[in-house]
Amino acid sequence: MYRKHLLQLFLILLLSCGTWSAFAQSTDPLEHNWLNEEQTAKIQIYKATDGKYYGKIVWLKVPLLEGKPKVDFRNPDKGHQNDPLIGLLLLKNFKKDGTDTYTDGTIYDPKNGKTYSCKITRKDKKLDVRGFVGFSLFGRTTVWTLAE
């Protein structure tokens, strides 16, 4: 009887380890915290329940302005100009396109309050984040680095 319980416990542990390792391996390499090119902000990229990828600011090198949290004062929507920058959603609606490319998303630039079409290409521990209007040929690429 003792042997039976020991065997059951062993099987449960074995299955649990297999399940956890399979779960851990299912995380996409994009799903991490990334430092922007200037290293003034950390952006957490995650996969939402809709299957798309999003990114929000989770850290700022200088989070305060005159003793108060920095806000999105350049937002064209006056109702959002007092939203804090920490927690602000910068990346929206990205779909994985191949192994290391994510497309069909947008990036919001709080420095000027504008939203651009965007394509992300992962290169090991770096991301090429290309914002553009119309065609990706006409745009700008910034390089983010893995923060973890």
The pTM of this model reads 0.81
Compute how many other C-beta atoms are within 10 angstroms of the C-beta atom of residue 26. 9
* Distance (Å, whole) CA 35 – CA 61: 10
* Cα–Cα dist 20/124, whole Å: 24
What are the phi and psi torsion angles at 34 (to 5°)? -125, 140
Is the CA virtual torsion 3, 9, 11, 13 positive or negative?
negative
pLDDT at res. 85: 98
What is the spatial distance between Cα 148 and Cα 143, in angstroms, rounded to a whole number? 16
Task: Decide if 70 contacts 84 (C-beta within 8 A).
Answer: yes
| Average pLDDT per consecutive 10 residues, the chain (148 residues; last block may be shorter) | 47 42 66 98 98 98 97 97 98 97 98 97 97 90 94
What is the set of domains in the chain, with CATH numbers? 27-146 (2.40.128.520)
Q: What is the DSSP letter of 71?
A: B
